[in-house]
Amino acid sequence: MATPNPHDFATRGPAVLAVTATTLVVCSVFVALRLISRVAIVRKTGWDDYTIILAWILAFGTSFSICYGTTKGLGRHAEDIPAHWLSPMKKAAYTFSVLYNPALMTTKTSILLFYLTLSKTQKSFRWTTIATLIVVNVGGLALSLVNILQCQPVSAAFETPVPDSATCTNIVTIYLSSAPLNIVTDLAILFLPMPILTSMRLPKKQKIILIATFGFGVFVAAVDVVRIAYLQTAARENLRATHQNESTNGTDSRNSNDFSWYASFSFMWSAIEINVGIMCGCVPALKPLVHRFLPHWLIDQTLRNKSVIHTSDDSKIPNVQDSRRLSNMQTVPQSPSSHDRPLSPTAAVPKPPPVLRGANEPMGMMDFLTTPDMNEMPRLNQMNTATTALTRQQSHTFFDFVNVGKKKNITLRSNRESIYPVMMVTVLFFVWGFAYGLLDTLNAQFQAVANMTNGQTIGHHSAYYAGYIAGPLTFGRLVFRHWGFKACYMVGLMVYACGALVFWPSAVLTSFPAFLISNFITGLGLSTLEISANPFIALCGPPEYAEVRLNISQAIQAIGSIVSPLLAKKVLFQAEAENLINVQWAYLGISFFTVLLGIIYFYVHLPEATDEELENASARMPIPRDATVKLGSSHIKVIWISLGVGVFSLFCFVGGQESIATTFEDYVGRVMPSIDPVSHHAVGHTAFAVSRFVAALANIWLKPRYVLLFFFAGSIAFAAATMSGSGPTPSTLIIMTMFFQGPLFPQIYAQALRGLGKHTKDAAILLTAAIGGGGVFPPIMYAATQAHNVQYAYCVVVAAFAAGALFPLWLNLNPTARKLADPVRDEKTRRESQLDLDRRDSEQQFDETFSKSKRWSKMKHRYADRDGGRDHQMPAVEHRERRSWPQGQGQDAKDEISTMEFATVPLDFAASPGRS
């Protein structure tokens, strides 16, 4: 058989060959430059250099296998490939699949080993890096074994056709299932060093270059997403077959699909991912090379020119900016001879004092990357007065014109002071409300595509709420107790992002266990968010408005639950394979957005509260915190009984709420089939949100325990009424049931949390874990539905709400519990807040007056300069310091010092004790 002319067929081979070869060449150049920099200039190598060499060897193997495959039909349609090309083409593809994950694993290992050299004092950074290193290697090893053993026997992977006796895994499934691990580790490597880099005190240009250098990894994550997109054609075919109940195993797909065509661009982007990853890993190590041959790229000439002022005796005096920077650097003054001689990158770095670093200890990698060269530093001559002033300032709570003193904790904030932090945390309420509303809709769509039963869908729902039990009681508690409120936001968002990513392989595999895992991880993440967000809203501000704030924030959450089902309906209008793939992309977008939100919250300044501060806040309240009741022979504090009953009430309420959510569509279909269940559910969520706003207003004038009892009674009554009838009446009653259950969660939570002092965080953990009741009652509801019908099964909802009503009954019937639950004003804090507000207003008035005076002074100086006069008055502090000024220095030097000292006057004024 004659070899066909390649021009007679559509082929992607030439493009794949050109791009793969080009990126390999560029990657090789970067590795060579890195080795020159580390061996010839720095003369110091490490394990990160050795692993990058291994990564390049594996990258060469993957790129060569792709290039060779293009000469044997890779990039053509299957029918256009000669028969004698099929075996070598499959061997090349198999070689690529075996080498792909080890190449990524060694590249990421090199970068993470380099990270470990950056800081030995940042324990959180080091342990997170080590954890990422373990995940990268364990995951990479597992995926490598899966690729090696993709067929049994292994030789069947490159046989054509694959024999019926062999068993093979669908190669597309393998590639797509590895996507979440790659993306998660890519994002971890990208963002791990950013907190350290952005907090460094460096010149602006150096900091921008440093952050940009480490930020090149964003291209790797983007390339991974593009690579996945080219595998979606094959995934669509697999999902269509699953939806149509057709048997599709890996062996059949290898014999029937057009793998050589649609996988070619995926292979190409995989090579780009590996090669670009190696290049990104090499960039930080190129600083010595760049500094030797292109020093102007690293040195901020503007800063360097401004850093010294020449005087009449040719002395050099740093300006105020460099003085502040130099006062915090670990450097030793050099002799004039060493300063005048330029330092090369290979020159020995001046050693700091022995107390900071051992005499023979080499400079750390972060020092090497960030420490400016000493020939950029001006000499410090005749600066005793200014240096003393700068040293004196560091003893106060002001640092670089920023007050770094302790801020108010969340329990001491007035209404006005709590607006900003409450708004920032309320954004998180919308995020998990959106996720909650999306869950049921996506479960239904997944069930339709994968032909799953209602029982399996209930299992998905229960897995989500199982995460609410496990998360707060395990790592959530650790994070909350040791690192505080904001740490829970970031950790929760990151875990939630991982759960969204895991949805990708679960959809590709159309696997019930995989989707269980995705829902469980999502529950872990959102519970970690909620473990700190709810108490933050309840505590941040005057205590008498805790229920008001929490109801409003929870109403924002309910709005997210309204939006997400409507959006899902537009995306997933029909249960088809293409729509499920659209959901995969939607989850990928949600994951990236959540990661970005977590990074943003790292830089958002939010108040905190320690156990001691929470205890002091409760001690200020005139409530009987130590009151006890006698049970048998022991006495138990009433406050613990209230907490226990509150946890039980929340467990039952959420169980009843979720029982309605999981059966809403079946219920509406039974009582009034003509109604669109999605739209009707949106109406119910709207009523749910509106009731929370109503309750927020009611709590201003009514005692919260009355409001709680009223809404519990309404929920029980309307839930019982839904058990009979048909037509518009029961469909309206279920909306009213959702209206009355809206405020129950924030009312229970805030009143159960009140007055617990140093135990507040532990109580928040228990209350959040109680949300796991949402995974217990829906299976009971499902069993009742199977035994009778969905309308009868609403007896489970009535029972759940009736059990939850024990809490408002306890609060209203027990006198001590009433005093503990009723809001009380913190009069002392209110007075202090008012005095602080008056002081700030006075300071603002003073600042405005001072600013006007300063502008008028500048205007007078400007007109005096135009007249040629320079006899304008100097600040008083200038005259004091002029007496100690050395003889023989020019007017320019005096003006420079007067400017610096004038900048320091407000610091001393603000920090001096006794000033008001």
Q: What is the pLDDT of residue 718?
A: 95
Residue 101 to residue 135: CA distance in whole angstroms: 13
Task: State mean pLDDT over 555-566.
Answer: 83
Tokens for 773, please give them.
Answer: 């009741």
Contact 148, 154 (CB under 8 A): yes
Could you give the angle at the alpha carbon of 906 between the alpha carbons of 904 and 911, nearest 5°? 100
Choice between 421 and 590, residue whose per-residue pLDDT is larger = 421
| Confidence label for 317 from pLDDT (cuts 50, 70 and 90) | very low
Buried b (16+ CB within 10 A) or exposed e, 877-888: ebeebeeeeeee
Contacts of 282 (CB under 8 A, 6+ apart): 30, 31, 33, 34, 52
Expressed in percent and rounded to 5, the helix, strand and coil fractions of the chain are 75, 0, 25
Task: State mean pLDDT over 699-728.
Answer: 94
Instruction: With residue 893 as reference, give the H or E element that holds it.
Output: helix 891-911
What are phi and psi for residue 630, nearest 5 degrees? -90, 120
**DSSP symbols for 824-846:** ---HHHHHHHHHHHHHHHHHHHH
Residue 655 to residue 649: CA distance in whole angstroms: 10
Site of tokens 């290039």:
67
φ/ψ region of 757 (left if φ > 0, alpha if ψ in -120 to 50, else beta) reads left
φ/ψ region of 314 (left if φ > 0, alpha if ψ in -120 to 50, else beta) reads left
Cis (ω within 30 of 0) for the bond into 730?
no
Whether residue 900 is predicted with pLDDT greater than 60 in this model: the reply is: no
Q: What is the pLDDT of residue 591?
A: 81
Task: State mean pLDDT over 167-181.
Answer: 74
Residue 523 to residue 498: CA distance in whole angstroms: 11
Angle between helix axes 123-148 and 179-191 (nearest 10 degrees) is 160
Residue by residue, what is the 3-state secondary structure of 428-474? HHHHHHHHHHHHHHHHHHHHHHHCCCHHHHHHHHHHHHHHHHHHHHC
316 bridge partner residues: 310
What are phi and psi for residue 855, nearest 5 degrees? -65, -40
Whether residue 883 is predicted with pLDDT greater than 60 in this model: the reply is: no
Residue 857 to residue 607: CA distance in whole angstroms: 39
396-400, 473-477, 607-611: the lowest-pLDDT one: 396-400
Looking at 149-249, list the stretches that DSSP marks H as alpha helix, in order from N- to C-terminal side.
171-177, 179-191, 194-198, 204-214, 218-229, 232-243
CATH architecture of 12-241+257-284: Up-down Bundle (1.20)
Distance of CA 615 to the CA centre of its chain: 30
Average pLDDT in the chain:
76
Amino acid of residue 493: L
| Confidence label for 802 from pLDDT (cuts 50, 70 and 90) | very high
Q: What is the pLDDT of residue 322?
A: 45
Residue 399 to residue 892: CA distance in whole angstroms: 27
pLDDT digits (tens, 9 = 90+) for 448-493: 666 667 777 788 788 889 999 999 999 999 999 988 999 999 999 9
Cα separation of the two ends of the chain: 98
Whether residue 403 is predicted with pLDDT greater than 70 in this model: the reply is: no
Contact 779, 800 (CB under 8 A): no
Residue 681 to residue 684: CA distance in whole angstroms: 5
Distance of CA 316 to the CA centre of its chain: 46
What are phi and psi for residue 415, nearest 5 degrees? -60, -45
Is 908 buried (19+), middle (13-18) or exposed (0-12) by CB count in 10 A?
middle
Whether residue 330 is predicted with pLDDT greater than 50 in this model: the reply is: no
Angle between helix axes 454-473 and 475-483 (nearest 10 degrees) is 30
Fold of the domain built from segment(s) 410-609:
Growth Hormone; Chain: A; (1.20.1250)
Residue 172 to residue 161: CA distance in whole angstroms: 17
CATH architecture of 622-823: Up-down Bundle (1.20)
Tokens for 523, please give them.
Answer: 């529950």
Tokens for 72, please give them.
Answer: 């044997």
Whether residue 706 is predicted with pLDDT greater than 50 in this model: the reply is: yes
629 bridge partner residues: 636
Instruction: Give the SS3 label for residue 10.
Output: coil
Minimal CA–CA distance to 58: which of 24, 13, 12? 24
Minimal CA–CA distance to 78: which of 19, 10, 16? 10
Choice between 271 and 159, residue whose per-residue pLDDT is larger = 271
| Confidence label for 351 from pLDDT (cuts 50, 70 and 90) | very low
pLDDT digits (tens, 9 = 90+) for 105-116: 999 999 898 888
pLDDT digits (tens, 9 = 90+) for 615-656: 998 888 888 988 998 877 788 999 999 999 999 999 999 999
Minimal CA–CA distance to 377: which of 345, 314, 311, 331? 331
Instruction: With residue 719 as reference, give the H or E element that holds it.
Output: helix 704-721
Minimal CA–CA distance to 680: which of 720, 718, 736, 741? 736
Q: What is the pLDDT of residue 850?
A: 66
Whether residue 340 is predicted with pLDDT greater than 90 in this model: the reply is: no
Residue by residue, what is the 3-state secondary structure of 763-811? HHHHHHHHHHHHHCHHHHHHHHHHHCCCCHHHHHHHHHHHHHCHHHHHH
Q: What percent of the chain has pLDDT over 70?
A: 70
Contact 279, 27 (CB under 8 A): yes
CA 748 → CA 542, 613, 712, 717, distances in Å?
Answer: 18, 23, 10, 19
Choice between 549 and 871, residue whose per-residue pLDDT is larger = 549
pLDDT digits (tens, 9 = 90+) for 129-173: 898 899 889 888 988 888 888 888 887 777 777 777 777 777 777
Site of tokens 């006007």:
852
Whether residue 359 is predicted with pLDDT greater than 50 in this model: the reply is: no
Residue 668 to residue 738: CA distance in whole angstroms: 14
Choice between 229 and 45, residue whose per-residue pLDDT is larger = 45
Residue 225 to residue 270: CA distance in whole angstroms: 10
Instruction: Give the SS3 label for residue 168.
Output: strand
pLDDT digits (tens, 9 = 90+) for 512-522: 787 888 889 98
Q: What percent of the chain has pLDDT over 90?
A: 30
36-45, 84-93, 403-412, 590-599: the lowest-pLDDT one: 403-412
Helix count and strand count (H, E) for the chain: 39, 6
167 bridge partner residues: 152
